[in-house]
Amino acid sequence: MSAAAPGTTFIVLMLPFLAAVIAPWLTRRLGHNAAWLLALAPVAIFVHFLGFSAEVADGGFVTGGFQWVPSYNVSFSWLIDGLSLTFALLISGIGALIILYSGGYLKGHDQLGRFFAFMLLFMGAMLGVVISDSFLMLFVYWELTSITSFLLIGFDHTREASRRAAIQALVVTGGGGLALLAGLLVIWNITGVSQISLLLNYGDDVRASPFYLLALLLVLGGAFSKSAQFPLHFWLPNAMEAPTPVSAYLHSATMVKAGVYLLMRLNPVLGDTVWWETLLPLFGGATLIVGTLLAIRQTDLKLMLAYTTVSSLGLLVMLTGFGSEHAIAAAVLYLVAHSLFKGALFMVAGLIDHETGTRDVTALGGLRKAMPITFFAAMAAAISMAGLPPFVGFLAKEEIYYALWATNPWALAFVAVAVLGNALMFVIGFAVAIKPFFGPLVKTPKAAHEGPVLLWLGPVVLGVAALIAALLSPLTHRFISSPMASAVAGRAETVSISLVPHMGPALILSLVTVAIGVVFYLALDRLRAGMAWLLLAIGWGPDRGFDQLISGLVRLSMVITRFVQPGRLDIYMTVTFLMIAAALIGPMAWYGEWPSMPVWPADAQFHELVVIAIAFIGLLAVIYARDRLTAIVSLGVQGFAVALIFMLFGAPDLSFTQFMVETLAVVILALVMTRLKLTSSDHRPTGRKLVDLSVALACGIGFMLYLLAVTQQPFNTALSEFFAAYSKVVAHGTNVVNVIIVDFRGTDTLGEIAVVMVTGLAILSLIRIRSLRSGEIADNDPDQPRTDRYGPEHLGPDQTGKVT
Amino acid sequence: MRTIIFRSIAPFLTSLMVLFSIFVLLRGHNEPGGGFIGGLIAASALAIYGIACGVAAVRRAIYYHPIAISAFGLFMATLAGVLSMFAGVPFMSGLWIYPEILGVELALSSVLIFDVGVYLVVVGAISSIALGLEEGDRD
């Protein structure tokens, strides 16, 4: 590559985000035709990455990037090898077609600009996931795909179903993302490297680590939630609430494959262990079967496809789990084939929906003549999905059977699973591609006719690509399959399967699959009814479980909130002060480190004794005060006495501050009291008073003991000496206290004054809210008695006082 | 509280206290005092003025909304910290200049700007609370 490549790659990675920024503006100017311009971004990305293919095909890889947070060894770096290159080409290539398709599909939609922006944002995020070399970058992009997926599923946000599906997808995939982060951090801790390209050399260390299982489970949590593995599959069919371009792009061709990508990426590191080769095939196989069975149940074209996407992802996970040379080759081929045919089929489903007004397969028929191009694309995709020649799906399926075939029970079980799954996918594929097009023409909400070029271009190109990829299989293998399989396996691999069928078990299994598929296809209606009955009989699924989980969570948090936030100020205060007392006295009691009581100083001066006496008088006055105002002022007297003590013992700054704080406290408390219109005297019952008294005593005694304990420690003079020595020299000030506040510890002070300011703002807004409310009440009913203005809905009961 | 004596004396008392608060603020670096205590003195001065002559008079006198004064103080304090970064030293390092004005050498520093910021934050936040409470009492 040329020297400019790192910079170019970075720009290319940012290109979708830039396009997303201008998309709304462009769409306002050009309407749906903005798609033609916006599609240039993914095309440019596609061309850029195509430039790497020669180097990657020769077994090389490209890394690049720059430092991000050097102190934590976090970089913004990318790795382009066979795996990420294939993904990047799929994302940008299909992305370009999808952008065009969106322009046709949402033509005239008033939020089209926003839609383009979200789609391009997603494209940027997804590209980032597969290109990232650094763990943290991978995680950030990973969560970004969850967020953009949330935005796109909830695009039609006025519908409740969309909002629910969006939140569900975000919770499941976002939560999985957190598990992934934890997993990556564990791996980081084991190996000490945070880059995938380096990590690939540490596979043995990771597998030998006692934390291997933890790392594996966490990573699987991320991958399985993203790639909709059973039992976390439920969010994917619900995500079909999104407009069809989203389903075609995110929820079949790209995003849901991020989990598979991750597993493939980490196969050389985490793979080749018993856990890996058990968990992945089991979950993948279960997902494959559950997905296809649920797909049979559906009549909605999109939902049928969505459930087969679930099962395809299961198949991919299962193959990745086997980890043998042929299993990896099969996974690679199937991944590419699936992206092509499923993207195309989704677009076909959207196209039918768009042109006829329905996508219920039982309400469609005979569209063959009205929509010939669509029919052609649908057939091409369905043949590929069914695994028939001469499409790339056939290569994938042959390779799958070749990889799985062995004569031990474990392998045979998975062969059976694969055959059944493939047969059911065969059924669904043709149900989508044949049922709407053959038979008598059924009357649909809109009179059917062929869609515009923007709509049929995508499926046709993908269908043709699936054909060409198979016909030119040596080229496909050289540039796509072999480099990708090598990256997944962690060693050089060559994929060589061609359209010429090799005689053997694989071909026989293919024939069996087709035979089962044909039988099931003919019996589809009966199968569907059977599945519907079965699901009704079970009556519970993870989807409902999700709702129960969420509502349980809401209930739990309400119970906790009601417990910790009862809304009564006196309870808050009591708890706070009890905690303070416990924190002060508890440790001393626990360790038995009580301070020794000080002796009465023999040389106490008369004026010092007077000041202490004033403090006591103030205190007694607080206790015996008849009304609150006297109590507040008496508290001020006590405070002044303490300030005098500070003054006498050589802390003038502290003393000054204490004076002012006491003054302002009295003023503000008096204001608050008049403001709250409290009754002037204290009406607490005696029992309550006793409780408050003991809390107050506990706090006071706690502070006293604490201060005694602190002063009885040997005094470390290091800090005082430092400040005394450097205050004048370094900070040009002789008042050490002030120098500390504004200079030595200036940043602390900055934080503190920020708190002061924000507190002021908060209190001001509280006062404002109360004035507004009382103003409204006063306006409504000027004759209302003043004591009733502040009802208990505004205040805790204790604050309102009792109205006598 | 609106006695004639108090009302007549309050403006003078307030001006004296504000003046004193500025004095305390400026001498803080070498003698007892500083932005925090100065701010508290000024806030009590405004509170006295408010009790004597009403909130409206105080608001007229300080012209800006007290919380805006507080925010400006925080801004100044931050700016004083950032200033050091422009001078190529770490955030919050004190910068000093000694210009001679009318034959007297003045010690000016970013630390002083910071302390004035502290002063304004304290005055603004506390008087906005006090004024808010007093005002609510009247309507």
First to last CA, chain A: 88
pLDDT at A800 over 70: no
* 8 A C-beta contact, residue A239 and residue A306: yes
Cα–Cα distances in angstroms (integers) from residue B7 to residues A510, B13, B60, B63, B127, in the given order: 102, 10, 16, 20, 19
Question: Is residue A796 domain-resident?
Answer: yes
Is A462:A340 a contact under the CB 8 Å cutoff? yes
The nearest alpha carbon in chain A to B117 belongs to A753
* Cβ partners under 8 Å of residue A503, min gap 6: none
Q: Do B34 and A733 touch (CB under 8 A)?
A: no
Cβ within 8 Å, pair A732-B81: no
Q: Which of A746, A753, A767 lies at the smallest CB-CB distance from B132?
A: A767
Where on the phi/psi map is residue A192: left (φ > 0), alpha (ψ -120 to 50), or beta? left
Position A353 scores a pLDDT of 86
Between A and B, how many residue pairs show a Cβ–Cβ distance under 8 A?
151
Domain count across chain A: 4
Residue A771's pLDDT band (cuts 50, 70, 90):
low
Looking up tokens 């700007």 gives: B113
CA distance A753 to chain B (A): 6
The pLDDT-based confidence of B102 (bands split at 50, 70, 90) is confident
Backbone φ and ψ of A65, nearest 5°? 140, -170
ipTM of the complex: 0.90
Please say if the pLDDT value at position A99 is more than 70: yes
Q: CA–CA distance from A468 to each of A378, A430, B26 (Å)?
A: 16, 21, 83
Residue A428 domain-assigned (yes or no)? yes
Burial class (CB in 10 A: 0-12, 13-18, 19+), A708: middle
Of A733, A737, A757, nearest to B71 by CB-CB distance is A757
**The whole model's pTM is what?**
0.71
A507 in the same domain as A543:
no
At residue A471, does pLDDT exceed 70?
yes
DSSP A255: G
pLDDT class for B1, splitting at 50, 70, 90?
Answer: low
Residue A202 has pLDDT above 70, yes or no: yes
pLDDT of residue A773: 64
**Axis crossing angle, helix B35-53 with helix A652-676, rounded to the nearest 10:** 30
**Mean pLDDT confidence for A518-539:** 84
What mean pLDDT is predicted for residues A727-750? Answer: 83
Pairwise CA distance, residues A628 & A779, whole Å: 30
Token pair belonging to A576: 């706070």
Residue A143 has pLDDT above 80, yes or no: yes
The beta-carbon neighbor of A746 closest among B47, B66, B92 is B92
B74, A742: Cβ pair inside 8 Å?
A: no
> Residue A784 above 50 pLDDT?
no
Candidate from A73-82, A202-211, A225-234, A442-451 with smallest mean pLDDT:
A442-451
- Whether residue A561 is found in the same domain as residue A509: no
Q: What is the token pair recorded at A591?
A: 């360790």
Whole-angstrom CA distances from A709 to A582, A594, A643 are 16, 7, 22
Instruction: Look up tokens 């309102």; give the residue.
Output: A800
Residues A789 and A640 in one domain: no
Question: Residue A667 is nearest to which of B30, B74, B130, comparing CB atoms?
Answer: B130
Q: Do B125 and A756 touch (CB under 8 A)?
A: yes
User: Is residue A109 assigned to a domain?
Assistant: no
Query: A662 to chain B, minimum CA–CA distance in Å?
Result: 10
Give the nearest chain A residue to B76 (CA atoms). Answer: A750
Kindly state whether residues A359 and A389 are assigned to the same domain: yes
Residue A738: its chain B contacts at CB < 8 A?
A: 28-29, 33-34, 115
d(CA A322, CA A411): 10
Q: Length of chain B, please?
A: 139
What pLDDT sits at residue A478? 84
Instruction: Point out the least confidently predicted range of A537-546, A659-668, B67-76, B100-109.
Output: B100-109
DSSP annotation of B54 reads -
Partner-chain contact B77 A749, CB within 8 Å: yes
State phi, psi for A80 to the nearest 5 degrees: -115, 105
Residue numbers of the domain that contains A332: 313-522
- How do residues A407-420 score in pLDDT, each as one tens digit? 788 888 888 888 88
pLDDT value at position A782?
Answer: 42
* Measured CA distances, A616 to A126, A203, A642 (Å): 71, 73, 10
How far is Cα of residue A688 from the mean position of the Cα atoms in its chain? 48
Least confident of A478-492, B65-79, B108-122: A478-492
Contact list, B47 vs chain A (CB under 8 Å): 664, 667-668
The string of pLDDT tens digits covering residues A257-268 is 999 999 999 988
- Looking at CA atoms only, how far is residue A90 from chain B in angstroms? 47
Residue A189 pLDDT > 70: yes
pLDDT in tens, A155-183: 988 888 888 899 999 999 989 999 999 99
- At A415 the pLDDT is 87
Residue of chain B minimizing CA distance to A752: B118
Chain A residues within 8 A of B30 when measuring between CB atoms: 733-735
pLDDT tier for residue A362 given thresholds of 50, 70 and 90: confident
Separation between Cα atoms, residue A539 and residue A518, nearest integer Å: 30
In chain B, which residue's Cα lies nearest the Cα of A760? Answer: B125
One-letter amino acid at A598 equals P
pLDDT for A568: 83
Beta bridge partners of A195: A134
A134 part of a folded domain = no
Weakest-pLDDT range from A81-85, A230-234, A376-380, B94-98: B94-98
CB < 8 Å to B107, chain A: 732
Q: How far is CA A773 from the centre of its chain?
A: 39
pLDDT, tens digit, for every residue of B36-53? 889 999 999 998 898 888
Helices (H), A405-436: 409-434
- Say which range, A185-189, A351-355, A697-701, A771-775, has the weakest mean pLDDT: A771-775
Locate the chain A residue with the closest alpha carbon to B98: A732
Judgement on whether residues A385 and A487 belong to the same structural domain of the protein = yes
Cβ of B40 within 8 Å of Cβ of A768? The answer is: no
Q: Render pLDDT for A640-685 as a digit per residue (tens, 0 to 9).
A: 999 999 988 888 888 888 888 888 888 888 888 777 767 777 778 8
Residue A463 neighbours by CB distance under 10 Å: 27
State the best of B41, B78, B121 to mutate against chain A, taking most chain A CBs within 10 Å.
B121
pLDDT tens-digit map of A4-52: 456 788 888 899 999 999 998 988 888 888 889 899 999 999 999 988 8
Between the alpha carbon of residue A492 and those of residues A57, A89, A199, A277, the distances in Å are 11, 21, 18, 21
Confidence check: pLDDT of A720 > 80? yes
The residue-averaged pLDDT of A548-571 equals 89
Question: Residues A421, A499: contact at Cβ < 8 Å?
Answer: no
**pLDDT value for A5:** 59
Q: Which residues of chain A have a CB within 8 Å of the CB of B92?
A: 746-747, 750
- pLDDT tens digits, one per residue of A472-518: 888 888 888 888 888 888 888 888 777 776 677 888 888 888 888 88
Which of A493-502, A605-614, A756-765, B7-16 is least confident? A493-502
Q: Omega before A390 cis (within 30°)?
A: yes
CB contact set of A186 (below 8 Å; sequence gap of 6+): A211, A214, A215, A218
pLDDT at B126 over 50: yes
The single residue listed with the structure tokens 């009318």 is: B102
Q: Do B34 and A756 make contact, defined as CB atoms within 8 angstroms?
A: no
Residue of A nearest to B28 (CA): A738
CB A382 within 8 A of CB A434: yes
- Of residues A791 and A401, the one with the higher pLDDT is A401
pLDDT-derived band at A468 (thresholds 50, 70, 90) equals confident
Taken as a whole, chain A contains a residue count of 804
CB A497 within 8 A of CB A398: yes
A216 close to A276: Cβ distance less than 8 angstroms: yes
**Chain A residues near residue B121 by CB distance under 8 angstroms:** 753, 756-757
Question: Angle CA(B116)–CA(B117)–CA(B120) in degrees, nearest 5?
Answer: 85
**Among partner residues A661, A734, A771, which is closest to B136 by beta-carbon distance?**
A771
Which residues are A62's β-sheet partners? A80
Do A493 and A559 share a structural domain?
Answer: no
Q: Which of A495, A522, A549 is the last residue of a domain?
A: A522
Q: How far apart are CA B30 and CA A648, in angstroms?
A: 20
Asked if A42 and A51 touch (Cβ cutoff 8 Å), the reply is no
Distances (CA, A) of A296 to A381, A436, A537: 18, 16, 16
Residues A363 and A425 in one domain: yes
Higher pLDDT, A68 or A319: A319
The Cα B14–Cα B43 span in angstroms is 10
Q: Which chain B residue's Cα is nearest to A775? A: B139
pLDDT value at A792 more than 80: no
Same domain as A548, residue A437: no
The confidence score (pLDDT) of residue A699 equals 94
- Residue A247, burial from CB neighbour count under 10 angstroms (0-12, 13-18, 19+): buried
Out of A672, A674, A753, name the one closest to residue B121 (CB): A753
Residue A656 Cα, gap to closest chain B Cα (Å): 7
- What 3 state SS string does A542-568 have? HHHHHHHHHHHHHHHHHHHHHHHCCCC
In-domain check, residue A2? no
A477 shares a domain with A531: no
Distance CA(A21)–CA(A8), nearest Å, equals 19
What's the pLDDT at A477? 84
Q: Are residues A469 and A546 in the same domain?
A: no
Q: Which of B77, B125, B139 minimises the CB distance to A760?
A: B125
Integer angstrom CA distances of residue A283 from A39, A260, A278, A319, A538:
37, 13, 9, 11, 21
pLDDT of residue A1: 41
Q: Does residue A458 fall inside a structural domain?
A: yes
Give the model's confidence band at A436: pLDDT under 50 very low, under 70 low, under 90 confident, else very high.
Answer: confident
- Establish whether the linkage from the previous residue to A231 is cis, with ω within 30° of 0: yes
**Does A664 contact B41 at a Cβ distance shorter than 8 Å?**
no
CA distance A250 to A119: 9
Contact B81 A750 (CB under 8 A): yes
- Is B32 within 8 Å of A733 when comparing Cβ atoms? no
For residue B128, the chain A residues in CB contact (below 8 A) are 760, 763-764
Residues of A in contact with B129 (CB under 8 A): 668, 760, 763-764, 767
Average pLDDT of chain A to the nearest whole number: 85
pLDDT at A147: 92
Let me know if A676 is exposed, middle or buried by CB neighbors in 10 A (0-12, 13-18, 19+): middle
Domain borders along chain B are: 4-138
**Alpha-carbon distances of A121 from A102, A150, A238, rounded to whole Å:** 14, 12, 22
- Give A14's Cβ-side CA count (13 Å radius): 8
Q: Give the span between the Cα atoms of A429 and A425, in whole angstroms.
A: 6
Same-domain status, A481 and A534:
no
Q: Do A660 and B111 touch (CB under 8 A)?
A: no
CA distance A424 to A386: 9
Q: Of B51, B111, B133, which is closest to A743 when you measure between CB atoms?
A: B111
> How many angstroms away from the CA of A755 is the closest CA of chain B?
10
Q: Is A227 exposed, middle or buried (0-12, 13-18, 19+ CB in 10 A)?
A: buried
A494 phi/psi in degrees, rounded to 5: -125, 125
Contacts of A675 in chain B (CB under 8 A): 133, 136-137
Residue of B nearest to A730 (CA): B94
CA distance A697 to A680: 24
Per-residue pLDDT, B2 = 66
Residue A121 has pLDDT above 70, yes or no: yes
Confidence of residue A557 (pLDDT cuts 50, 70, 90): very high
Chain B residue with the nearest C-alpha to that of A767: B132
DSSP-derived letter for residue A32 is: G
- Whether A339 maps to a domain, the answer reads yes
Partner-chain residue, chosen from B28, B40, B66, that has the shortest CB–CB distance to A661: B40
